[in-house]
Amino acid sequence: MSITAADVEDTVRTTTATLAAARDGDWDARAGTMDWTCWETVEHIADNFFFYAAQLGPRVADTGRSVPFAWAQHREGGPGLVLFADRAAGPAGLLRCVDACGALLVAMARTTPPDVRAHHDDGVLDTAGFAAMAVGETLVHMHDVTEGLGLPWTPDADLCRRLLARFFPGAPADTDPWSTLLWATGRGELPGHARRTDWRWGVQPSG
């Protein structure tokens, strides 16, 4: 039921392929209901891939704090990131950043022992957990971005089920997995269940 390096690789591929259809779109449009723009949100996706890969990199893992990169905001209200895409390179350059950073996490997920533990702001994650967190954040943030850019986006149902089992084990199991993941992350309605306004990823190690 865990999220694998192959899942990360597939997520990177489908993300970049989907966004490539909107290279002439309005990347400064608001991403769904977020305060971030579509460009900023995709930068956040790339930054997640890089940052999570980096947590698995040190020879001695640290569960007490993240690798201490400096972060910055390019505008008030925008995301705080470690890395930014060169705006002059346009959407094609931004997608290359996603592709490159995603490849780093794929490599780390494939080569890091499964029992490694490292810090996440909400707790501690194992190797599969960082892969799962990156995939989960990418899926839901792609929902935000594709709303802003007017693109279709429906992830694989089995992948959504595995993310729900990892991070939201108490979520309904008899509903559409993608709709349930959106509901669990405060992004959608689920019949018979109150809309979630206060939620967090369940990030403790799986084993």
Please determine, for residue 167, whether its predicted confidence score (pLDDT) is greater than 60. Answer: yes
In a domain, 121, yes or no: yes
Domain assignment present for 200: no
Flag whether pLDDT at 93 surpasses 50. Answer: yes
Q: Given this model, what pLDDT does residue 97 score?
A: 98
pLDDT at 123: 86
Question: What confidence tier does 206 reach under pLDDT thresholds 50, 70, 90?
Answer: low
Residues 6+ apart with CB under 8 A from 93: 85, 86
Q: How many structural domains does the chain have?
A: 1
pLDDT tens digits for range 67-83: 999 999 999 999 999 99
- Please enumerate in sequence order all residues whose Cβ is within 8 A of that of 195, keeping only pairs 6 or more positions apart, or say none: 183, 186, 188, 189
Q: What is the mean pLDDT of residues 179-205?
A: 88
At 183, give phi and psi (nearest 5°). Answer: -65, -45
Note the pLDDT tens digit of each residue in 102-160: 999 999 999 999 999 999 988 899 999 999 999 999 999 999 999 999 999 999 999 99
**Paired tokens of 53:** 């890969």
In sequence order, the 6+-apart residues with CB closer than 8 A to the CB of 88 are: none
pLDDT tens for each residue of 7-19:
999 999 999 999 9
What pTM was computed for the model? 0.95
Are 131 and 170 within 8 A, CB to CB?
Answer: no
Residue 193 belongs to a domain: no
Inside any domain, residue 204: no
Any domain includes 197: no
pLDDT category at 204 given cuts 50, 70, 90 is low
pLDDT of residue 187 exceeding 50, the answer is: yes
Rounded to 10 degrees, the C-alpha dihedral 81/125/105/155 comes to -90
Please give the residue that has the higher pLDDT: either 130 or 60.
Answer: 130
Does the residue 50 lie in any domain?
yes
In a domain, 29, yes or no: yes
In this prediction, residues 84-107 reach a mean pLDDT of 98
Which domain CATH number covers 75? Answer: 1.20.120.450
pLDDT of residue 207: 46
Query: Is 70 exceeded by the pLDDT of residue 3?
Result: yes
Q: What is the pLDDT of residue 1?
A: 67
The mean pLDDT value of the chain amounts to: 95
- Provide, rounded to the nearest whole percent, the portion of the chain with pLDDT above 90: 86
Say what angle helices 157-167 and 177-184 make with each other, to 10 degrees: 40
Model confidence at 20, pLDDT cuts 50, 70, 90, reads: very high
- SS3 state of residue 138: helix
Which residues, at least 6 apart from 76, have a Cβ–Cβ distance to it below 8 Å? none
User: Is position 70 within any domain?
Assistant: yes
Full residue range of the structural domain in which residue 116 is found = 5-184
How far, CA to CA in Å, does 18 sit from each of 8, 55, 127, 139, 142?
15, 28, 27, 12, 9
